[in-house]
Amino acid sequence: MRRNVMRTKLGVDISKRKFDVALLDAQGKFRSKVFANDAAGFSQLMDWIESHVQGGKSEAHACMEATGSYHEALAVFLHDSGVAVSVVNPLRVKRFIESEGIRNKTDNADAKALARFAHKHELELWEAPTLGLRRLQALVLRLQTLQDMRQAELNRLDVAHDSVRPSIQAMVDSLVGAIEEVTAQIKSSIDDDPDLRGRKELLQTIPGLGEKTIPQLLAYIGRPERFSSAKALVAYASLSPMIRQSGSSLNRSRGTHPTGHKELRQALFYPAMVAAKYNPLIAAFWARLKAQNKPGLVVVVACMHKLLAIAYGVLKSKKPFDPAHGTALAA
């Protein structure tokens, strides 16, 4: 992995509609600005960088949190434009802010914290996905959007007045057609790309992973080599039970941490329960946790964790799943 050696740090706090940028120069001074999270905003950011970074874009290093799909378009744009980019685990940044004793939380303050975080840590530089993977990621995101729209219309249909039911049904039928079209495009995108097709065939050997989940994992994980270990991928997804215990007064489980790649976690929820029946490693693990009287959600999350680690091991080793070596793969 290349390491950051850039002088000027850019902290980027990004949300669905906008992103805040804080530039930390060599003198330790900040310059801040807000941009729209769209193509026009990206172009304006590049002009701003060229105007305010000594040496231009080649001397800038942008640091942003992994925020599901919100950060990806900007990260790709900056990378393709020649700006060094690091995408970091939000939990690391949160702990860094806490260590500084900062209490106020605003988008601008978070952007400044990201710039300071990049300045004080040696961060690995993010690698942009291939063109084939970018296409797959866009199609997977579009498929999820269409499925959400269809479900919303079906929910309306259940309680709709007779006067609007034909209109709603027509919309549902249209969405079903669009879903079938995008699903076919996803299949062809994977099958036409030798690298993606090879990874798909490896994941198909893992009981519990099906035709719906595998494209999502391919899109969300990307190149497995960008993660140094299974633990790094699990941290990227924030797939750790959120348990708070202290003395006898506090004993609470909240499922997973709210940070990390939400879509990746969601993609593994039902497959983990399927794997508990058909994957011998997950089934044994599930039974062991249940025998210890672990809460149901903790068991599911732990199995999601293990299933993701197994998927990483299979992809990294380029070897089909083998229950006899599954523990080693998931390590």
Chain centre distance of CA 14? 14
Whole-prediction pTM: 0.76
Q: Which two tokens stand for residue 131?
A: 């063109």
Give me the pLDDT at residue 319, please: 93
Give me the pLDDT at residue 261, please: 81
**According to the per-residue pLDDT averaged within each range, which of 72-81, 181-190, 244-253 is highest?**
181-190
Q: How far apart are CA 173 and CA 161, in angstroms?
A: 18
Q: Looking at per-residue confidence, does 216 or 232 come out higher?
A: 216
Q: Looking at per-residue confidence, does 325 or 121 come out higher?
A: 121
Q: Which two tokens stand for residue 91?
A: 């939990």
Q: Looking at per-residue confidence, does 292 or 94 come out higher?
A: 292
Q: How far apart are CA 148 and CA 150, in angstroms?
A: 5
DSSP type of residue 148 = H
Give me the pLDDT at residue 28, please: 85
Query: 220 pLDDT exceeds 50?
Result: yes
